[in-house]
């Protein structure tokens, strides 16, 4: 059965964040609160973790995973960021956005779409997620915690523990953190293109060249 940590949503306890990071370093899959609901996460190089998440969500190899990054400097390691894109990212991070960018060679091939070398990247505006990312000092592979057949993500940590407790290593109770997904913005072309309207305000993107 997975471990269950109730972490303060505004002032995360360092000792609990450290235990979460230890589980991730040891190859664990963790349920992490973000600013757009709960997510399944694991270390970037954790092939077994990716397979577990695919199995839980019944995802095929064409599904695009998202990298959770702590800041803009980390994004630039894993994605190609031109000056105009950097300015746009700076204005909208951290926040409830997933940005589709051209991936660098630092991104494992198994996380990329088989025909497009692109990756979704986001900087979550959630104190618990930020504390974990800061202590890890590396990004996390993530996928929204939505079970097959459901139309909304899971929001109750106790229900998550009951249903998935035997498949994952840690469930974090970070309180209610919403169920609306991120707004997705494709930055692979010259003009940003909103491909999904979600929790992040997208009104400024139509004016961005």
Distance CA 151, CA 148 (A): 9
Which residue from 57, 46, 167, 169 is spatially nearest to 110, judged by alpha carbons?
A: 46
- When pLDDT is averaged across residues 145-173 and rounded to a whole number, the result is 94
Query: Could you read off the pLDDT of 47-87 as tens digits, one per residue?
Result: 999 999 999 999 877 677 899 999 998 998 999 998 989 99
Strand order in the sheet with 37-43: 3-6, 170-173, 30-34, 37-43, 140-144, 66-68, 118-122, 97-102, 183-186, 193-196
CB atoms within 10 A of CB 2: 19
Q: CA-CA-CA-CA torsion for 147, 150, 156, 159, nearest 10 degrees?
A: -60
- Cα–Cα dist 96/36, whole Å: 6
**Is the pLDDT score of 206 beyond 70?**
no
pTM of the model: 0.92
- Whether residue 24 is predicted with pLDDT greater than 60 in this model: the reply is yes
Residue 42 CA, chain-centre distance (Å), reads 10
**Residue-wise pLDDT tens digits, 77-113:** 999 998 989 999 999 999 999 999 999 988 877 776 6
Compute the average pLDDT of residues 180-206.
Answer: 89
Could you say which of 2.60.40.10, 3.40.50.720, 3.90.870.10, 2.40.160.60 is the CATH number of the domain covering 3-198? 3.90.870.10
């Amino acid at each position: 059965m997975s471990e269950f940590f109730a972490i303060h949503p505004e002032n995360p306890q360092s000792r609990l964040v450290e235990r979460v990071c230890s589980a991730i370093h040891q190859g664990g899959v963790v349920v992490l609160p973000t600013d757009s609901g709960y997510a399944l996460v694991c270390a970037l190089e954790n092939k077994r973790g990716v397979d577990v998440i695919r199995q839980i969500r019944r995802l095929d190899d064409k599904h695009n995973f998202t990298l959770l990054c702590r800041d803009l400097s980390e994004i630039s390691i894993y994605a190609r960021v031109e000056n105009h894109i950097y300015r746009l990212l700076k204005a909208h991070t951290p926040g409830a956005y997933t940005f589709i960018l051209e991936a660098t060679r630092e991104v494992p091939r198994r996380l990329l779409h088989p025909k497009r070398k692109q990756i979704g990247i986001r900087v979550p505006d959630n104190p618990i997620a930020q504390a974990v990312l800061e202590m890890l000092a590396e990004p996390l592979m993530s996928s929204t915690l939505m079970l097959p057949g459901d139309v909304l993500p899971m929001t109750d940590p106790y229900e998550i523990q009951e249903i998935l407790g035997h498949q994952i290593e840690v469930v974090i109770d970070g309180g209610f953190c919403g169920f609306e997904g991120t707004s997705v913005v494709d930055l692979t072309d010259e003009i940003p293109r909103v491909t999904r309207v979600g929790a992040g305000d997208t009104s400024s993107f139509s004016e961005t060249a």
